Amino acid sequence: MTRLRGRTVLVAGGRVSGLATVPPLQDLGAHVLVTDSDSGAVAKAETLGARGILQDDLLANPASFDDIALVVTSPGLRVDSPVLAAAAGRGIPIWGDIELSWRIDRAGLYGPPTQWLVVTGTNGKTTTTSMVASILESAGIESAACGNIGLPVLDALRRDPHPAALAVELSSFQLFWAPSVRPEAGVVLNIAEDHLDWHGGMDGYVRAKAGALTGRVAVVGLDDARAASLASDSPAERVVGFRLGEPSVGELGVVGSDLVDRAFAEHTSLISVDDVHPAGPAGVMDALAAAAVTRAIGIAPDTVADGLRSYQVGPHRNAVVRTVAGVTFVDDSKATNPHAARSSLLAYDRIVWIAGGLLKGAAVDELVAEVAPRLAAALVMGRDGTQIAEAVARHAPDVPVVTFSTGDDADVTRVAEDADVVMQAVVREAARRAEPGDTVLLAPAAASLDMFVDYGHRGRSFADAVSALTDSDVVDGGEQS
C-alpha cells in the first residue's frame, strides 16, 4: 500500500462505493482521480478533494492513463466496460473497492486487522448479514454490517472505535473484483440463476460466489446443490454445512423444533424454530448460516440465540404492508431474482402476483410452473415483464395476466415519476382481482432499475399505492371480477 504514495489512482465510478474510496486513498498519500459518466458524481468527488473527469473526456485522451498506477472500480462495472478495458490494455492493475478495503485493513491503516464474516448467495444475503450483525452486537463485539448491505466497508473500517469484526455482505460483482479476500468465515447460502449477463454464464457466476469460501472456515448451504458442490473445492482450513433437516457431525440443522449445532459442539440446541424471524424455511436457513459463521469465531450458543431473537426483519423483505377488506398486501421488493421470489410465493396459498423488471438473463419457467397452483392472477410490468407473462401462459394458462407498460420498456435507464403512476395502476388492478383471504404479493423476481431508483424505491412505491386504497377498492373489485 505504501507504493501508492505520490501516485495517481483512478476511481472508476463516482457513486457511493466509489466516493468511499477517496478519503482512504488520500490517507495513503495517493492522488485521486474520479471518473463517471454523470457530471454530478464527478462534482461530488471534487468536493472531497479529488480531481474529477467525465468518462468521455478520459477516453478521448489516451494519455490520461499514462500516470495511473491503479484503477479502483465500482463493483458493477464489467471487465469489458470502456474505462476498464482501456486500463487493462495498458497493464494497469484493477481492484474493486472490496479488494482495496481488504488490503487497507490488512495493512492496519485504521487499526488492527478485523475479522471478516462474509455472506453471499443468490437469496438471503441481507437477512443473514443482519442476523450476523445482531449476534455480534449481542456478544458485545464492536462491529458493523457493511458491504452490499449499504455501508461501504471502508466507512466501517474508519469508524471510531475501530471494529473488531465485520458482517460483510458481498455480491458476485464485489467478489469478482476482490480476489485477495480471505475471511475468517464465509458462507455461500445458495446459488441460482442471476446476473448471468454480467458474468457471461452460470460458470462465471458460481466461480465468483466461491470467493467467499477462501478463508479459515467455509460454510455452505447443503440443501442447495450448487452451493454444496463448492465444499470439495474450497481451500478453507475447515468446511461446515447447514441444512433444514437433521444435521450430521460437522453440520448445523434442525432437530425436532430446534436449530442444532453439531459442527462446533457435539450436539447443542441453539434456538427454537418458532423464535426465528422471518418465519418459514428461508428464515430458518438464514439463521443457521448466521449461527455457523458466528460459532466459527467462538461466539457462545446462548449469545447466538440472543442475537437471533433480537433480530428485526428489514423493510421490503416479505413485509406485510396492510390488510384491506380481508386482502393482505405484502412487499417483497427485495426479491430481485426468481430464486428470491420463490420463497415468498411458496409462503401463501392464493396469490395475486405482481412481478417484472430486469431478469438479468435468468429464466422464470421453473418458478412459474412450481407456483402455478397458488396464482389467482399475475400482473406484470417492466422491461422483461413480457417474459414472465409468457411463462404464466405456458404453465398456468387459466391464470389471468395483465401487462402494464411504462411506455418504452426497452429503455433500461427509465427511472421517472411514471414508475410510481404505473405502480398505482398495478396495485388498483391487484385489489380488483383479489378476494378476501388472498395475498397481493409484490415479489418481482427481477431487478428494479428499468423503472425505479432501486428495490427500496419500488417497495415504497408499492406501499404508497396500497396506503391509498379503500375497502371499496377491494370489495367492489371482487364483485366485478
Neighbours of 142 (CB within 10 A): 13
Q: What is the pLDDT of residue 417?
A: 56
Residues 6+ apart with CB under 8 A from 66: none
Task: With beta carbons less than 8 A apart as the criterion, state whether 383 and 322 touch.
Answer: no
Q: Which residues of the chain are in CATH 3.40.1190.10 domains?
A: 100-310
CA–CA separation, 3 and 32 (whole Å): 14
69-91 per-position pLDDT tens digit: 999 999 989 999 999 999 999 99
- CA angle, residues 190, 195, 196, in degrees to nearest 5: 100
| Beta-bridge mates of residue 440 | 329, 352
The domain 319-469 is placed in CATH, from the list 3.40.50.1000, 3.90.190.20, 3.30.460.20, 1.10.150.20, at: 3.90.190.20
CA distances for 258 relative to 184, 211, 244, 288, angstroms: 26, 31, 11, 11
Task: With beta carbons less than 8 A apart as the criterion, state whether 355 and 444 touch.
Answer: yes
Q: What is the pLDDT of residue 409?
A: 43
- CA angle, residues 362, 369, 410, in degrees to nearest 5: 35
Q: Which three cell numbers stand for residue 224?
A: 442447495
Q: What is the pLDDT of residue 418?
A: 84
Its sign, for the CA torsion 324, 328, 329, 330, is positive
Q: Which residues of the chain are in CATH 3.90.190.20 domains?
A: 319-469
**Which band of pLDDT confidence, cut at 50, 70 and 90, is reported for residue 318?**
confident
Question: Average of pLDDT values for 322-345?
Answer: 91
Its sign, for the CA torsion 390, 395, 397, 398, is negative
Q: Which residues are documented as binding site for ATP?
A: 121-127
CA nearest neighbour of 188 among 208, 212, 164, 159: 212
Question: Would you say residue 346 has pLDDT above 90?
Answer: no
Fold of 100-310: UDP-N-acetylmuramoyl-L-alanine:D-glutamate ligase (3.40.1190)
117-157 per-position pLDDT tens digit: 999 998 889 899 999 999 999 999 999 999 998 899 999 99
Q: Which residue has the cell 464527478?
A: 42
Q: Which residues of the chain are in CATH 3.40.50.720 domains?
A: 8-92
Q: Which residues are documented as binding site?
A: 121-127
391-447 per-position pLDDT tens digit: 999 999 999 999 997 544 444 344 445 899 999 999 999 999 999 999 999 999 999
Percent of the chain beyond pLDDT 90?
83
**CATH number corresponding to 8-92:** 3.40.50.720
CA distances for 345 relative to 324, 351, 355, 470, angstroms: 20, 8, 11, 25
236-284 per-position pLDDT tens digit: 999 999 999 999 999 999 999 999 999 999 999 999 999 998 888 889 9
